[in-house]
Each structure stands twice: as C-alpha cells, then as structure tokens.
Structure 1
Amino acid sequence: MPVYKNEKMKGDNKWWYQFYTGELKNGARERVTKRGFRTKKEAEKAMIEAQAALQKGEYIEPSKKQYQDYLKEWIKTKRNLGKQTLELYESYLRTHIIPSLGHVPLAKLTAHDIEMFLIALHNKGLAPATVKRIFSVVNASLNSAEMKDLVPKNVANKVEKPQVKQRRELIIWEPSFVTRFLRSTRQSSRYWIAIYLAVMTGMRQGEILGLRWSDVDFEKRNLTIQQTVNRHREIKQGAKTKKSVRSVALSPETVEVLKEHQKLIIAEQLKEKDYQKNDLVVCTRLGGPVTQRAIQKVWDSFIKKTGAQKITFHDLRHTHASLLIKQSVHVKVISERLGHSSVSITLDLYGHLMSNMQEDAAKGLDAIINPTANQK
C-alpha cells in the first residue's frame, strides 16, 4: 500500500500517500500525492477516496494556493454582507485566522489543524461565542472552496463545532424604575442623552453615536438612521444591515428633550474655536465622535449612583422592546423600530415576553363576540 510515514517531520501529521494515475505527463507517469495525516489509517482512507474519485472522473487536483491567499480573494466576494459584519469578518481574518492558519496550503489544511486552532483560541481567553463566530468564518470559506472545486471536501465539517451556552436571560427594567433612573441621572453628564435615546428609541449604541441633527425631523417627530460610529470613533455610512437603515418615530417628550440638548450643542459650537462640525447629536465638547468607552464610563457611574441592578447598555434596547410589548404594540412595528432583519428575530428574542398578550387577546374576544349575552 503506497502510504508512507516521514519520521523526520515534526508534529503529528507525518503520514502521507502517493499513487499513480495511469496517465502520462511530459513522458512520465502522473502521480497524486497528499501529506499531513495523523495516522496511517487516515492516510489510507483518504487515498482510497481519491482513487475512487479519479475513477469516476470526480477527482480535483489539489490547489497549491496558500490558505491566506485564498481567504483574501474569498472575502472580496462577501460584499453582500452588512458593513459591520464584513468588518468583523475582516478583523477575524487579520487577527486570528491568517496568523494561525494562513501559511498552510489550502489543499493541505486538515481537520486536525482546525481543531488545534480552536483550542488556541480558547486558550487565549476568547469568549465561546467569539470562537464559534470565528469557526463559522473558516467553515464558510472552506464551503466556498469546495463549491468552486478548489478542495475535494470541506475539512471543517469533520470538526466538532464550538458550543455556546444558552443565551443569558434578558434583564429588563420596569417602567417605574426607568423613570426614576432617568430623572436622577439627567443632570449628571452630557452623555445622558445617549442613554435616554436608547430607552426611548431602541437604537443600537453605534447608531446613537452616529445620529446627526440633520437626521432628526422635529416637525414630523421622527429620526432616520443613516450612519454609525464604530469602536474606533470612525463615522461609517449605512448601518449594520439594510433593514437597520430605518426611520424611528419619536414621542412628543423625546422631541422636547432633543431640542433642549440641541441648545447645549449650539452654545458649545459658538464657544469653542476648534469645534468640529460633524452635526452629531451625541458628541464631545469639540463636536467630535464619542468613544464607546466614554459612554461605558458614564453608564457605570450611573449604575453605581442609583444602585440599579447591573445591566449592559445594550440591555436598554431590550428594555425598550419590553416597554412596547407592555403596550401591546404589534411585533412587526417593534421589529421595524429595532431594525431587525426579520420579525422571526424579534420573536426569538422577545417571544417569551408576549405570553400575556395571548391571554389579553382571548379576553378581548368576549368584548366583541358574546352570543349568550341576551340569554336568560
């Protein structure tokens, strides 16, 4: 059996196979060679599969391209992704995938390589959810390579997918407490307005930090989300997804609060010579974009000051959704306000909060249909 072991090679992947195809190339018999197997059994199995594929005319010549070169080409084809998702993919490639696996030829990448990569990510202290997302990028890239006949099989399919613990229970504040919290913190920081908008609109943090005054229509009482600010303080056009670019209706009180905040911004603009005219609703004293760290610092101080149950800034978005649910707002409207790509995402997140709506709906039927009302 033409299976060999290279004792001089370091590491576990010492086994390799080689067989003749029976065809001539430049006067010599053509050979198929593949290396990088952990055991003789793995090498033999892979060779038998390759020989069978050759006989059926389905054999794919292994690509000599390095995985990193393939990834750089592959990511260019993912322009259908949302901007933030694409940035996240590129970040994973740059900081994790390419440094660890990029030097391996695409055709020689093995399931064992990927398993060791996942272990290394866990050892770095990355959150299980992050490891799972990174693995998904690797898996998606190799699925594409298989579809394009660059590799015979996606070896990531042989790897046990990283597991993530069940989604943590959403922590949501009651309306009475939200009112007390906002009243007691209102004069504490210029960035209070960001927290207020999170509660009253359900906007994401990046959307709030990217909101411009030109996006706010005081007469029609709505705002339009058209840009965001990322963690590097960069202003980015668009939003997380196409559905995230949306219009959000404002309550009359929210309009008044925004008008009052605008007066503060205008006063600073007139006072500061180096004021940056970015037109941002939430900005530094010089008009620049605010860092997420600055918002977090203020948020932490508010939690400490009020003795509130500790929740994340993003949980205010969940609180906003729960406030709408308590008012029996239709799930499609809630989904549109939050900018979810589909109603199913909204139901998946907040369906358990809607259980009472079923009971209320059933009782409501008695108010309009009561065939026994006139019977004695």
Structure 2
Amino acid sequence: MRKQSPKDKKKPSKSDMTFQELFDIWIAVKAEELQPSTIQRYTSDYRMYVKAPFGDRKINDITPDNWQRFEEQMSTVKGSFGKELLPSTVRKITTFARKLFMFGKTNYDLNDPTEEIQAAKKAVASKTFFDSDEIEKMKVAVKPYNVFQLCIMLCIYVGASQGEICGLKWGDIDTDNQQLTIQRSVARERITKRSKETVIMVYPKAAGSIRIHPFPDWINDQLKLMKRIHTDEEFLIQGKNGTMEPSSFVNNYYCVFLNKANVEYRSFTALKNTFARKCIDEGMSVEELSSLFGDWSIEYTKRKRFGLE
C-alpha cells in the first residue's frame, strides 16, 4: 500500500485553521523537499518566536497590523545569548512565516496578512540604486579601518558584485596608484539538489574581463595602513576557511551596516547599479557599460541596472 503523503491528507476547515495547524501541515510537506537541518531551523524558529503570539490564533483572524507589529517587535527580541537578533535572523524568521502564509492561501484559500506589508516594502526595494543622500549617510556611518564597511563602500565606487568583493585579495589593492583589480569571484556550487553547497573561486574566461578601477582617497588612506599587516594572498574579507561566502557577508555585515546608517534596505546589487548610474552620468555609453560588466546583452544592462524595458 502506498504510504500516505502529507499532501494527501484531508484538508481541515479553512475558516477554523490555526497557525499551529497550518504549520504542522506545511512542515510535513517541506520535510519531503528540504534538508533535515532546514526543517529543524524552521521548527526551532517557530517554537521560539512565533508559537507564543500566533500558534493558537486562527489564520483568518490575523490582520496585517498584527503581523506588522510582530515584525517590528522582532528587531528588539533577545536571542539565546541575550543579544538582539541580527537583521538577517529576523528576516529568515519572517520569510519562513510568509512562505507558510502563501502555502495556506494557495492550498486552503486562507488570508495572507503579509501581502499588504510586502507590497509596501517592494516599493522601496524596487528602487535599484542609492541616491547621493543615502551614499553620504553610509560614508558617515563607516567605522574607521573597518574592512567590511570599507568593502561595502568600495562596491559603490568600483561596481563590484558581492562575489567579486569577497574574492578581493590584498594583492589586488594598489594603494600607490589608488586603484584595485577585480579578477576573481567567490561563488557557491551544489553538485546535486540535496548535497551541501561548496565555496568555489571563479576566474574570468578572458583577460579582457579583468577590471581595474580607481577608488576614493579616504578609502585608500585607510587600506594603505591596513595592507602593511597583510600578505598579498590574504583576502580582504575573511571567513572561517580564509574566504567568506557572499551570502554571509550580505546577511551579517551589509544588512547591519545599512541599518546602522539609517538607510532603507536595498538588495546588494543596488551598490553596483549605483556605480553604473555614475558611469552613465560621466559620459559612458550603455554599450560600454554593458561590456565593462560582462552583461550578456545591452537590453539586460538597461533592465537590470536602470529598470528600463
């Protein structure tokens, strides 16, 4: 006899379904698709942060205002070590909850209280670059000789992606000529769907794809002093095994830095897009910019960097 799948189980009454009931069904379905460690994290986050305020409440009784207050309160919640949760942790918790609400709407026609909130957030997130006032706020927020924050600012001035900035070595920094060379990128690779991702180094296929960019005096002055205590083969941004995964850099440093600078969250790509707009303002053609970034077409550059169709 075929084993009954969670998807085959009789659906309970939609109007009376509680958050706990929906979570139990959703997590059983996801257990067939995701890694056990991911399921364990979802379950732990639910029990620690979501169950108390929403577990017994009916999904259809949870309003957008209820959920908005919950998301705002999460930024002040203390974690297991007595410290406030990182923005990246808060985002993971709210993201898993949004997935659950979407599951409930799709499969049981339940209300999704996050829809209105997401629409408002997308209005800001859809802005694909930082304006001059935001850049100034970020510059002021940089802690002297903080290599993580300096690297974030470098992305604005040299157009580096998160993988490229994580692949930057001290030997790529020429403080005498105040320029740096982008010639490798850190990426993650997964051999099979269920295998763990591994960090790999990606190099340009053509010599012409290696880029050299100047950068501002105020960054150069700090990197010049810091470079004295590093070898050319050391990465500027270091992780446990010498390199840092781009996602870790974004979640643990970029998001925190924007919050510190009081700048609305934008995807990391907005840094590169800000550089692209500066290039155009200074007279570079879209064709030249597309070639500089190695974009696969001019149309892609227009759409990705400037939001043009």
TM-score (structure 2 length as normaliser): 0.49
Q: Which has the higher contact order (CA 8 A, sep 6+)?
A: 2
